Amino acid sequence: GPSRNVTARVAPLGPRLVLALVEDRTRERRIEEVRRDFVANVSHELKTPVGAIRLLAEAVDEASDDPEAVQRFAARMLTESDRLAHLVQQVIELSRLQGDEPVESPGPIQVDTVIPVAVDTSAIDAGAKSIQVLTDVEPHLAVLGNEEQVTAAVANLVANAVAYSEPGSKVLVRARAVEGFVEISVVDQGIGIPSDEIDRIFERFYRVDPARHRSTGGTGLGLSIVKHVAATHGGDVRVWSVEGQGSTFTLSLPQHQQHRTDDGAAQAPV
């Protein structure tokens, strides 16, 4: 049969090399599959807001003698175009990260600088829901990498904590050193994640029961961005969650040791 032919042909290469080649092909095919799925998903996700904006533009056109309706449609167009802009930005971010290549010319990043910036990106949404975002950050922690990417990763976790929490609840962002890693945890008292869904939330475009939180207008890309940032920085991201009680996401990145002066300011190693 054909399988015996294949064995005869590849045998001189040795079993280990054959296995490596097969694995490599499988990996290539898998990457190609993921890429194709991604493009299909992006096209689908882009069509929804574009379609909505088009319909709203037609509605505005037809309602020109009803200023109140025009205003209502215009407001919705604004919401839809913001959503579109957010989606496009996340797709660009993700496609930059997709190769999981190590970060080019990484620099030291001060964690106590990054966290307030990341928290600030959710200030308006948190304020609108009276959610207090508290921080508890060990001073002088640093990691090595791309500051924009690490900030975006933490910002995504904070944005989720705010989006999936009830008004009036609290979110805590904590950073500390644990055995050579900097652990940045975002703790919320929100809706939590069902245990049978938890393995899937880092997949692109995956959202737990979209109907349950359509109003948050998410894209399902945030956590896959976090996962890729963790991977490109030699770290990982873990989640612990109890449905109805809350979630804790922990981004763990290798700690960058820096020499310090007596006043605690960072110095380049000599």
- Point out which residues bind ligand ADP (CB under 6 A): 156, 160-161, 164, 188, 190-193, 201, 206-208, 218-224, 247
Nearer Cβ to ligand ADP, position 98 or 110? 98
- CA torsion 187-190-196-199 (nearest 10°) is -40
Instruction: Compute the least distance from the CB of residue 134 to ligand ADP, in Å.
Output: 15
Of the pair 164, 181, the CB lying nearest ligand ADP is at 164
**In this complex, which beta carbon is closest to ligand ADP, that of residue 60 or of residue 154?**
154
Residue (204 or 256) nearer to ligand ADP, CB: 204
> In this structure, how many other beta carbons lie within 10 angstroms of the beta carbon of residue 73?
20
> What's the min distance (Å) between Cβ of 217 and ligand ADP?
8
Q: Which residue lies nearer to ligand ADP by CB, 5 or 215?
A: 215
CA dist., res. 234 & res. 253, Å (int): 7
| 203: Cβ contacts below 8 Å, ≥ 6 apart | 224
Tell the smallest beta-carbon distance from residue 170 to ligand ADP (Å).
13
Closest approach of ligand ADP to the CB of residue 233, in Å? 18
**In the complex, minimum distance from the CB of residue 177 to ligand ADP, in angstroms, rounded to a whole number:** 24
Chain position whose Cβ is nearest to ligand ADP: 218
Contacts 24+ apart (CB under 8 A), 156-159: 156/222, 156/223, 156/225, 156/226, 157/184, 157/186, 157/226, 157/249, 157/251, 158/118, 158/119, 158/121, 158/122, 158/133, 158/186, 159/121, 159/122, 159/125, 159/222
